[in-house]
Chain A
Amino acid sequence: MHGGGARRWGYLLVLPVAVFAIATARADTLADVRERGFLRCGVIEGSPGYSTLNDKGERVGFDIDHCKTISAAVFGKVSIEFVPITPNTVFTLLQSGGIDIFPGGATWSFTRDTTMGLDFTGVYMWAGQGFVVHKALGVSRVAELDGATICVAQGTTLEQNLADYFDANGLRYTAITFADIDKGLQAYRADRCDAFTNERVSTAGRISVWPDREDHVILDEVISKEPMAALVRQDDPRWRDIALWSFNVRIAAEELGINQANVSRMRDESDNQEVRRLLGVQGSFGERLGLSNDWAYDIIRIVGNSEDMWNRHFAPLGVSRGLNRTWRDGGLMSALPFR
């Protein structure tokens, strides 16, 4: 679903969804989730960094933390049923109420937003098509790949992005096109190609388990922009607000200097008005969403701010944060104001 997967299946997904895109009458997801006692969260499995199992057999990853964020906002604790999904089933499952939210990294595009009866809830990850290269080549920028052989997987946009970018920049290359990502990565590893191109962060996840990981470099640049956002049903504006603002809490927390370690101290000691509003010391922001006033405090206590999450899941994979830094640090992440 991340990167190549999402785009590869893109057009297939639209068809069944278009058929099933009938607005359902029920529209109080929060009440349903409360009554049920747990959140149903759709997860793609086996994508290190995003969603995988740790050595204790627990689900970990950026997507998993996104589920935990919503659960923390609603229940003040982790109470989730993870529903393993495939790219083929996810949109139908979401439509029919089988899951309450899907944080698995679907690219927010016009067609998806307008034809599927689903809503996106804020870009939580700026992904993009990037390159992994053999370190021995000493390449540090895409422009230096002039004349290189590049392995790529078939996808609705991967090959075209590659051709467009190299053409626009006057670079020559040879594309070796594989039917799936793993075969392409294997061939790259066997030195069939100088570079492999796919969604940058998920590539980092896939190669993180290689014993020879140190011999490969993931270039900082991306040649396409893939804004990923969690999906909810379109028929429940309050639930969409909860998903959007819960996620926004993590960025606001980073901007305000609140993190998992200091959140309790900040609640007790800070005299910044926005911090006090956010953490429920002042005002009743949580109640306006139908939640408790501790909702943001619980989110930060349980999953931390956006930097905590990055450091937990992606930093160990050797992925630089790039566009996913806050705007103050030159990234695109920017909190909507809590006022």
Chain B
Amino acid sequence: MRRTWIYQALLLAAIVAALGLIVSATNANLSRLGVETSIDFLWRRAGFEISQSLIPFNANSTIARAFVVALLNTLVLAAAAIVGASVLGLIVGTARLSRNWLVSQLATTYVELFRNIPSLLQIFFWYLVVLRSLPGFRDSLSLGEAARLNNRGLYLAAPEIMTGGGWIAAGFVVAIAAIIGLARWARHRRLVSGRAFPVTVTAIALLVAVPWLAALLGGAALDWDVPQAGRFGYEGGIVIMPEFMALVAGLSVYNATYIGEIVRSGFAAIPRGQVEAADALGLSRWLSFRLVLFPQALRVIIPPLTTVYLNLFKATSLAAAIAYPEIVSVFVGTVNNLVGQPVIIMGITLIIYVLVSLAIAVFMNWYNRRIALTRA
């Protein structure tokens, strides 16, 4: 016992010493070459533009702000691709189990095809597909004034609240509180009386109606920032870049193959008796899927799904290849070119990836524990 403790302490000391040596040697070499190692550059003027930013940004903003913009772009991309891959994966996974021969064969072909092509190539492919298949600015596809689609992106009208924004926000808060109460009440009633209540439909109605009524009451005025045609394209509104579309498509399609297989294994792990028991209870096929099969499959699905989500998050760094301004492109690319401090910049970027990945893992583990079978 005591000896293993000594060995572990020695190992730890060796690792710390090795790290210390690397850090001090790197520092010595950098200062010999006259390369700065401070992070003061973060407060310098950026001097470059970023094509997509969720917070206000221009060339006069600081490099630190550019960093936040890029990080947000990474997170938005990861979130959209995770949703896309999950939905597609669920469809593909259930389709593979379908008794319809054509459907299951199509799903199998999909998995075998897209799982075996490197995701970087798929991203280039989708980028070319998006750019080449969408019309030019003058031939934009349009849905009235609300949405226009061309090879520069999807331009949406953006709501701009002129006055009474507080009323609308309050409306949302009230609606959400009402939905939570409603869900509890409906659950209680079902347990007591066995009668179901259409919670989802009511929730959507509440979410629309309450803020709308609040806006009417408070006299809120809403204006739409409609994309206007300029000389070169539409300006204003919300723009979804073709790079973003291509990346969400590429990352979703690729990762959905893995999620599909995980979903399939999850359902395959459910004992046949469970389906038969649900049938015997007279549950419809939808209810049997929702109440019996899916919750049990989820317990098998979540742990490997965590791995796929983590891989997908890290794969967003491939976006640098097609001009989507995420953290590798903006920070390791543009900013590093500008300030020439590769060690610090790589360090910050690595730490950010580790932190976000850990956050995803912590959340998935928490969710996994929540749905796990417990001796209640």
Contact = CB atoms under 8 A, between A and B. Distances in A.
Contacts of B323: 151, 176-179, 183-184, 187
Contacts of A151: 323
A19 interface: yes
Interface string A147-181: 11101001110011011100100000111111100
A260 B340 CA distance: 46
A256 interface: no
Interface stretch (B164-172, B204-212, B225-233): B225-233
Interface stretch (A43-51, A99-107, A188-196, A276-284): A188-196
Contacts of B232: 137, 145, 147-149, 194
The bracket for how many chain B residues form the interface is: 20 to 34
Interface in B306-337: 320-323, 325, 329-330, 333-334, 337
Contacts, number: 92
* Chain A to chain B: the 10 pairs with minimum beta-carbon distance, closest first: A11-B340, A159-B48, A163-B59, A190-B131, A175-B49, A148-B232, A160-B47, A154-B333, A178-B323, A147-B230
Contacts of B148: none
B38 interface: no
B334 A15 contact: no
A187 B131 contact: yes
Interface of A: 8, 11, 15, 18-19, 137, 145-149, 151, 154-156, 159-160, 162-164, 167, 173-179, 183-184, 187, 190-192, 194
Contacts of A175: 48-51
B337 A156 contact: yes
Nearest to A174: B51
Given A175-B48, A175-B49, A183 B322 contact: yes
Contacts of A146: 231
Given A11-B340, A163-B48, A183-B321, 19 more contacts: A8-B337, A146-B231, A147-B230, A147-B233, A149-B232, A149-B233, A160-B48, A162-B49, A163-B47, A163-B59, A164-B47, A174-B51, A177-B48, A177-B50, A177-B333, A177-B334, A179-B333, A187-B323, A190-B128
B132 A159 contact: no
Contacts of A176: 51, 243, 323
Contacts of B322: 178, 183, 187
Contacts of A190: 128, 131-132, 151
A167 B231 CA distance: 19
Nearest to A155: B337
A148 B231 CA distance: 8
A148 B321 CA distance: 22
Contacts of A149: 152, 232-233
A146 B320 CA distance: 26
A326 B59 CA distance: 37
17 contacts: A146-B231, A148-B231, A148-B232, A149-B232, A149-B233, A151-B323, A154-B334, A159-B49, A162-B49, A173-B49, A175-B49, A177-B50, A178-B323, A179-B320, A187-B322, A191-B131, A192-B152
B237 interface: no
Contacts of A163: 47-49, 59
